[in-house]
Chain A
C-alpha cells in the first residue's frame, strides 16, 4: 500500500523507474478504496470456502480439520485423484512430445507457416469444450472402447485443449534463442536430428517447456466438462458427485484442486519472471 501511495522512486529517479510519468492528480483515496473493494470481492469467497471446509458452517462446534483429514477415507477420493494425476502427467508428456519437435521444426524450416500453425493452435478457443465432447461421441463411435471409454480419450483431447497456450509458450521460447545457429553448429559437429533436439534445443528452451507443461497439467487436473459429459470418472467429476451429498466434502475437494493448480500456475509466473529478467530484450524497456 505504501508503494502505491507515496511512490518516491518515480519522483527521485524518473529515468530508471518510470520515465516521465506525469504526476498523478486523481485522489489516492479513491484508488485505495477501489483496490480494497476488489480485494474484498476476490478474497471473501476464498475465506468463506476455507471457513466452510473447516466446519465453520456447523454452529457451536468450532473449527476442525476433520473434513480435510477425512477426505482420504471418502469413497473414491484416492482412486479418482490418482486417475486425474495420471491423466495430467500423460497429457503433459504427449503434449510436449508432439509440440516441441513440431515447433522447433516450424521455426527452423517453415517460418513462413508460423501464422497458419498459430491459427490452428487457436482453434480450440473457437470450439467450446461442450461441442468437442458432443463431437467425440459422433466421431469415434467405431473406435475401440478401451480408448473412447477410458482416460485415454481425455488425455488425447486435453492435448488439443492445451494447444493455444502451448503454442504461445514454445513460440516465445524459440524466438528468444538463436535457434538456427545452434542447430547448424550441432549438425556440423555431427549430431543427429534427435540428438540436436534433445541435447541442444530442449535445454535452451527448458523454461518455455516447463511453462507449457505446467499449464497443461493444471488444465488436465481441473477439466470437468468433457470428462463429465463422456461419463468418465476423474477427480473433478467425483467432486461434483460428492457435492450432491455432502457440500463440505465437495468444497474441500474443490479447494484441493485449486491449491494444486494455483501452485502450478504460480510456478509458471515465477518461471516467466526469471526468463524476462535474463533476456531483457523480450520486454520493452520501460
Chain B
C-alpha cells in the first residue's frame, strides 16, 4: 500500500530538513510521553562489526515512502502554497500579509499564551519535581506523581476544555462555590477563554509535561556531587549556584522550549473553550480552512502554517540541541 502511493509526489519531498534530521534527543520524549517508555537504552550492546551494504537501504524504503507521502507532501503543499496567489502565480503577498494585523495580533497572543504557560508550567513543574524527588522512589507519592504526569501530559485537546467548563465555566462547580462565598468570577474579569483563563487551563497539561521531561535530569544529579561540594566547604546555596544550577540549566531551558512548542501548536482546547473566537494562530488557520477569508487571500492559511512551522521547528531544533548537551552527563 505504501510502495504504490508516492506516484504524484515530487522526489525529495519527504526528505527531512537537515537541522531536524540531525537531532539526537536521547533522553526526554516527544510530548513527554516517550519518557514513559524509559530512557532509550543506547549504551550496552557492543557494536557489531558487520558492514551494511547499500542494498540494505532498501529495507527503509516503505518507511521513507510513507513519511514522504503523508508528512512530506502536506508540508510541501503548505510551504509552496504560501508563496502562491489564488491563481497559482508566485507571490510574496501572503507571507507579508500574515505579518500585519490581524495576523500579527494573533501571533502576539499565541506567543504570549505560549510563553506564559511555558514559564509558569516549567517553574511550577520544577517545584513539584523537587518536592517529589525528596519522597522515596518506590513510595506512593512518587509513583502517583510519575504515573499521573505520564497520563496528564497527554491530556490536551477537547476533553480538557469540557472538564474546565464544568469547573470554572458559567455553570461550573468552582464558579458556584465562589459565588456562594460572595465572589463573582465574571465580575472580576475572569473567563476561561481570555489569556488568564487559557493559561490556567494549559497548565493542566504543561506542568505534567514538565515533570516528565525534568524528572530524569533531576534524578541524574548524583548525591555524591553535592557531598563532594559540601566536603570541599561549599554551602548548600553555593552548591546550587555553582554545580547543580549550571547542570540543570540546559535541561530546564530545553523543557521550557518544549512546553512553548506544545502550547503554540495546541488547537483543540482553545477551540472548544471559545468555539473558535480566540485570536490564536492555529485557530486562525482553522478559520481560514473553513472558508472565512477574503478573496485573493486563499493561501493566507498556508502562509500562517509556514510561519508556524518556522517558529515551532526552530524551537524544537533548539530543544534537541539542549537535550544533546544534557545527555553528556545524564545517562
Contact = CB atoms under 8 A, between A and B. Distances in A.
A21 B22 CA distance: 38
Contacts of A116: 16, 21
A220 interface: no
Given A98-B2, A164-B29, A159 B37 contact: no
A189 B64 CA distance: 31
A106 interface: yes
B151 interface: yes
B20 interface: yes
A163 B33 CA distance: 12
A25 B176 CA distance: 40
B37 A42 contact: no
A9 B136 contact: yes
Nearest to B134: A24
Contacts of B171: 52, 57, 247
Contact of A160 (B70, B154, B271, B285): B70
Contact of B162 (A137, A254, A272): A254
Contacts of A120: 16, 21, 64, 67
Given A22-B223, A102-B62, A265-B151, A131 B173 contact: no
A112 B162 contact: no
Interface string B1-44: 01000001100000011001111110001110110111111101
Query: Which secondary structure dominates chain A's binding surface?
Result: helix
A172 B41 contact: yes
B282 interface: yes
Contacts of A106: 59-60
Given A211-B37, A266-B151, A272-B38, A251 B22 contact: no
Contacts of A225: 157, 267-268, 282
A99 interface: yes
Contacts of B179: none
Contacts of B86: none
B37 A135 contact: no
Interface residues of B, number: 118
B111 interface: no
Contact of B70 (A142, A157, A247, A250): A157
B102 interface: no
Nearest to B66: A98
Interface in A111-144: 111-113, 115-120, 122-140, 142
A226 B169 CA distance: 26
A57 B20 contact: no
B21 A119 contact: yes
B31 A175 contact: no
User: Interface residues of A toward B: which range?
Assistant: 35 or more
B295 interface: no
A213 interface: no
B131 interface: yes
A171 B39 CA distance: 10
Interface string A263-279: 00110110010011000
B294 to A, nearest CB: 17
A56 interface: yes
B39 A282 contact: yes
Nearest to B124: A38
B52 A135 contact: no
Contacts of B135: 3-4, 7
A55 B66 CA distance: 47
B23 A250 contact: no
A269 B147 contact: yes
A269 B67 CA distance: 28
Given A131-B305, A222-B157, A138 B77 contact: yes
B159 A257 contact: yes
A223 B159 CA distance: 10
Given A48-B172, A268-B36, 9 more contacts: A38-B128, A105-B60, A119-B23, A126-B20, A127-B71, A142-B8, A175-B45, A236-B157, A251-B166
Interface of A: 1, 3-4, 7, 9-10, 17-22, 24-25, 31, 34-35, 38, 41-42, 44-49, 51-53, 56-57, 98-99, 101-102, 105-106, 109-113, 115-120, 122-140, 142, 156-157, 159-160, 163-165, 168-169, 171-172, 175-176, 178-180, 208, 211-212, 215, 218, 222-225, 228-229, 236, 239-240, 243-244, 247, 250-251, 254-255, 257-258, 261-262, 265-266, 268-269, 272, 275-276, 281-284, 286
10 contacts: A44-B173, A101-B59, A116-B21, A119-B21, A127-B309, A128-B267, A160-B70, A175-B40, A257-B158, A265-B36
